[in-house]
Amino acid sequence: MSRLDETLAMDRRGFLRTALGGGALLAVGGGLLAPRLYAAANTPVGKPGNVLLEIFADDGRDLGPRQVPKLVLSEAQWRQRLPPASYEIMRRNGTELAFSGNHEKPAVAGLFRCMACANALYDAATEFDSGTGWPSFWQPIAARNVTERRDHLFGMERTAISCAGCDSHLGHVFNDGPRPTGLRYCMNSVALRFVARTAG
């Protein structure tokens, strides 16, 4: 065997040793990592407890404030509960493309509920055409039913809006809305479920 053949044979053996060793390490490491990933996906996200919400019947009646359990689920449970587009927006703080969802004001009276937990969020009477391509409202149905937090993504300072019943991301609020509030609650359509008003 020539010196070149010996070198090539050694290089092949070294390559195989490295590849097999790396594969074994990956198998062991992956075996150790898999339970952690599974546990993380199945660990509830958020802090359990009660939250004070204003409860509304489907006929629009305000049933008053009530302490209700906050909906706290694992990532795996959220994925099962929500359609894929809603999951991406509501649990990963996304934003749907403008004009891609249903942003037209309903022709009938009703209210918009959270897609994730059915908390009442907006009365259809407060929806207006903002020209932005997202459902826009000048106020929530009850201030306690939504939460606000500062959002610094994309180098802008905005105010993000979440559902108080489950901490799911809904959209943002801006100071360029119509009277009487001057606010524009710019929501993602996949985060909302419209319920037509029923007879009380």
Helix ranges (DSSP H) in the chain: 3-41, 75-81, 84-92
Bridge partners of 158, per DSSP, are 151
Give the catalytic positions in this structure: 186
Answer whether 119's CB lies under 8 Å from 133's CB.
Answer: no
Token readout for 14 is 């070294």
Question: In sequence order, which residues have a C-beta less than 8 Å from that of residue 153 and are 6 or more positions away?
Answer: 93
- Cβ-Cβ contacts under 8 Å for 130 (sequence gap 6 or more): 136, 177, 184, 186
CA 25 – CA 76 distance, rounded (Å): 28
